């Protein structure tokens, strides 16, 4: 006889473990299934956990992992076109005081190894009361009366529950067997290549310190990124940038070859040498990458979260925080529908509604328009002009020791005028984003006014009733 649970979660990545922790803390008998021997086993490389994860999950402040390095500064290296890839300008920045929450004012990201992070989250889920079962490959779902009500493992073993959450990644078995999605279309995924290096902690402390993220961009290249952990370096790209450029420019690319080519940039090579970096892993994987919030992420008795749902944000394909946030929302929705005894499609709709209204859903606002920004990266002329404009402005304003300072400063307006066509290209992208953002804000205010109007109307009716009773 199949063993029964309140909730079954397939996949013990960040989203699955947060869902299991949330569900167990709410009193649900929760089973967390993981196909590997330990959560995070397949992940060797590093990643950056953004400050908003610490805002939304305060218990993360207690986390201490050997690979962690806090990133309080970011560096953008703007390069000349290939094959030289010489550095034309470097932008070095701390966090902005305009960020709306305290953690975001203090740091950008915390860099760490995924395997350590995944294991930590799974331990938190188990400590909360969830049951973790590893080496458990889900190959099918159990259905009754049109609803998902359990899972079937390789070998035929079954487990039953009124709700199943699919947290099983880009190639989600739960999505496929639930009928929510057969597979991603080619334009809905992106290939990402990366190389992981071991590095000297002493050299990283000296050379990198807390400037843990370096991005390398330039005309005619998709760019790559350089992330630093306590004793390692993660070098990734140009999969996201160049895949989008390829999509816009209708040409094919080879992400692996282009990553290896961009590593040859002198500024990248110098950083790797400075920290005594030694390659230890090559990795390539797929990510779902949509420009609009997906809606086919729930059904009767089933929900999808994280990569399984297609939730990586539409610009850089960040996905860990999205998985965690959607995991918590899904677990909260599961608790409600189970307590109500209604796991129908209409009842499960609340998960999508809340996700669309959440920061995860709002991150898709302007996704279509913002992606057009990458069209500039695919146009060497425009990005080349913008790069040289930044160099000219910076030198004229701050670094000109070769000429009379007043004469150099007098060039500011002519420099901007000369580059007006390129600036208009940026405006062409930026203006529609602002319009969509403000239109969304206006819709929110109108909904609030309607709610206030309904309340006032109700109060008026009550007063009229009182007056009528009095007469």
Three-state secondary structure of the chain: CCEECCEEEECCCHHHHHHHHHHHHCCCCEEEECCCCCCCCCCCCEEEEEHHHHHHCHHHHHCCCCCCEEECEEEEEEECCCCCCCEEEEEEEECCCCCCCHHHHHCCEEEEEHHHHHHHHHHHHHHHCCEEECCCCEEEEEEECCEEEEEEECCCCEEECCEEEECCCCCCHHHHHHCCCCCCCHHHEEEEEEEEEECCHHHHHHHCCCCCEEEEEECCEEEEEEEECCCEEEEECCHHHHHHHHHHHCCCCCHHHHHHHHCCCHHHHHHHHHCCCEEEEEEEEEEECCCCCCCCCEECCEEECHHHHCCCCCCCCCCHHHHHHHHHHHHHHHHHHHHHCCCCHHHHHHHHHHHHHCHHHHCCCCHHHHHCCHHHHCCHHHHHHHHHHHHHHHHHHHHCCCCCHHHHHCCHHHHHHHCHHHHHHHHHHHHHHHHHHHHHHHHHHHHHHHHHHHHHHHHHHHHHHHHHHHC
Provide mean pLDDT across the span 269-291. 90
According to DSSP, the β-strands at 30-33 and 131-133 are: parallel
My answer on whether 304 and 346 are in the same domain is yes
Q: What does DSSP assign to residue 398?
A: I
Question: Would 464 be classed as within a structural domain?
Answer: no
My answer on whether 20 and 142 are in the same domain is yes
Given a cut of 50, whether residue 365 has pLDDT beyond it is yes
Given a cut of 80, whether residue 377 has pLDDT beyond it is no
My answer on whether 124 and 24 are in the same domain is yes
My answer on whether 351 and 207 are in the same domain is no
pLDDT score at 246 = 47
Question: Would 434 be classed as within a structural domain?
Answer: no
Q: What is the pLDDT of residues 23-55, one digit of tens each?
A: 999 999 999 999 999 999 877 688 999 999 999
Given a cut of 50, whether residue 243 has pLDDT beyond it is no
pLDDT score at 300 = 98
Can you give the pTM of this predicted structure? Answer: 0.87
Question: Would 272 be classed as within a structural domain?
Answer: yes
Question: Would 90 be classed as within a structural domain?
Answer: no
My answer on whether 181 and 282 are in the same domain is no
pLDDT score at 250 = 42
My answer on whether 281 and 357 are in the same domain is no
More confident position, 186 or 132: 132
Query: Strand, helix or coil at 385?
Result: helix
My answer on whether 311 and 338 are in the same domain is yes
My answer on whether 358 and 384 are in the same domain is no
CATH number of the domain enclosing 351:
3.50.50.60
Q: What is the mean pLDDT of the chain?
A: 87
CA 227 from chain centre, in angstroms, equals: 16
pLDDT score at 224 = 80
Nearest Cα residue to 63 out of 271, 324, 272? 324
Given a cut of 60, whether residue 248 has pLDDT beyond it is no
Which of 174-178, 318-322, 404-408, 430-434 bottoms out in mean pLDDT, i.e. has the lowest? Answer: 430-434
My answer on whether 44 and 137 are in the same domain is yes
Question: Would 467 be classed as within a structural domain?
Answer: no
Question: Would 451 be classed as within a structural domain?
Answer: no
Distance in angstroms between the alpha carbons of the first and the last residue of the chain: 69
Provide mean pLDDT across the span 255-280. 86
Given a cut of 60, whether residue 10 has pLDDT beyond it is yes
Question: Would 372 be classed as within a structural domain?
Answer: no
**Residue 339 tokens, joined:** 């307590």
Distance separating alpha carbons of residues 116 and 122, to the nearest angstrom: 10
Within a 10 A sphere around the Cβ of 161, how many other Cβ atoms?
27
Question: Would 143 be classed as within a structural domain?
Answer: yes
Q: What is the pLDDT of residues 452-469, one digit of tens each?
A: 666 666 666 655 565 566
My answer on whether 164 and 191 are in the same domain is no
Domain count, the chain: 3
As a residue count, the chain comes to: 471
> Which residues, other chains included, contact 337 with Cβ-Cβ below 8 Å and sequence gap of 6+?
162, 163, 343, 347, 348, 350
My answer on whether 311 and 332 are in the same domain is yes
My answer on whether 219 and 335 are in the same domain is no
Distance separating alpha carbons of residues 470 and 22, to the nearest angstrom: 52
Provide mean pLDDT across the span 55-59. 98
pLDDT score at 262 = 75
Provide mean pLDDT across the span 278-300. 90
**Domain ranges, residue 398:** 379-418
Residue 388 β-bridge partners:
none
Which of 16-30, 151-165, 241-255, 263-277 bottoms out in mean pLDDT, i.e. has the lowest? Answer: 241-255
Q: What is the pLDDT of residues 431-451, one digit of tens each?
A: 776 776 666 666 666 666 667
Per-residue pLDDT band at 261 (split at 50, 70, 90): confident
Domain's final residue, options 288, 316, 344 = 288
Q: What is the pLDDT of residues 381-415, one digit of tens each?
A: 777 888 888 888 888 888 777 888 788 888 888 99
pLDDT score at 286 = 84
Query: Strand, helix or coil at 285?
Result: strand
Provide mean pLDDT across the span 292-309. 97
User: Which residue bears the tokens 């390692």?
Assistant: 232
Distance separating alpha carbons of residues 368 and 389, to the nearest angstrom: 27
Count how many Cα atoms sit within 13 Å of the Cα of residue 151 in the half-sphere of its side chain.
Answer: 27
Domain's final residue, options 258, 288, 318 = 288
Provide mean pLDDT across the span 81-89. 86
Domain's final residue, options 314, 336, 362 = 362
Query: Strand, helix or coil at 399?
Result: helix
Radius of gyration of the chain (CA): 25
């Amino acid at each position: 006889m199949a063993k029964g649970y309140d909730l079954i979660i397939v996949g013990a990545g960040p989203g699955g473990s947060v869902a299991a922790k949330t569900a167990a803390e709410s009193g649900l008998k929760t089973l967390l299934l993981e196909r590997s021997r330990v959560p995070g086993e397949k992940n060797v490389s590093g990643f950056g956990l953004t400050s908003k994860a610490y805002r939304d999950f305060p218990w993360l402040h207690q986390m201490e992992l050997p690979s962690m390095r806090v990133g309080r500064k970011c560096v953008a290296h703007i390069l000349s076109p290939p094959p030289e890839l010489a550095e034309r300008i470097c932008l070095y920045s701390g966090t902005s005081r305009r960020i709306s929450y305290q953690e975001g004012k203090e740091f950008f990201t915390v860099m760490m190894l995924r395997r350590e992070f995944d294991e930590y989250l799974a331990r938190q889920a188990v400590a909360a009361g969830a049951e973790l079962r590893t080496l458990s490959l889900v190959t099918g779902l159990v259905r009754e009366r049109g609803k998902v009500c359990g899972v079937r493992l390789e070998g035929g073993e079954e487990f039953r529950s009124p709700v199943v959450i699919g947290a099983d990644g880009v190639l989600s078995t739960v999505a496929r067997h639930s009928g929510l999605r057969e597979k991603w279309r080619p334009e809905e995924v992106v290939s990402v290549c990366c190389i992981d290096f071991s590095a000297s902690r002493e050299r990283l402390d000296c050379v990198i310190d807390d400037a843990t993220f370096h991005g390398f961009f330039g005309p005619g290249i998709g760019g790559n990124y350089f992330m630093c952990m306590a004793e390692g370096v993660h070098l990734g790209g140009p999969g996201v940038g160049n895949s989008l450029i390829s999509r816009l420019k209708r040409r094919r690319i080879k992400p692996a070859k282009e990553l290896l080519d961009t590593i040859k940039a002198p500024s990248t090579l110098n950083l790797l040498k400075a920290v005594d970096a030694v390659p230890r892993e090559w990795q390539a994987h797929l990510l779902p990458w949509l420009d609009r919030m997906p809606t086919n992420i729930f059904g009767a008795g089933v929900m999808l979260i994280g990569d399984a749902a297609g939730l990586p944000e539409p610009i850089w394909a960040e996905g860990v925080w999205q998985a965690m946030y959607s995991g918590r929302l899904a677990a909260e929705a599961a608790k409600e529908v189970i307590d109500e005894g209604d796991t129908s499609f209409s009842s499960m709709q609340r998960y999508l509604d809340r996700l669309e209204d959440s920061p995860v859903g709002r991150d898709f606002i302007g996704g279509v328009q913002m992606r057009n920004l990458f069209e500039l990266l695919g146009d060497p002329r425009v990005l080349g002009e913008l790069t040289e404009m930044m160099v000219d402005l910076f030198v004229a304003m701050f670094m000109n020791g070769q000429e009379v300072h007043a004469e150099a400063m007098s060039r500011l307006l002519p420099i901007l005028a000369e580059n007006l066509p390129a600036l208009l290209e940026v405006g062409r992208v930026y203006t529609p984003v602002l319009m969509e953002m403000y239109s969304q804000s206006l819709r929110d205010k109108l909904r609030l006014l309607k709610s206030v109007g309904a309340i006032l109307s109700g109060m008026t009716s009550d007063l009229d009733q009182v007056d009528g009773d009095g007469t």
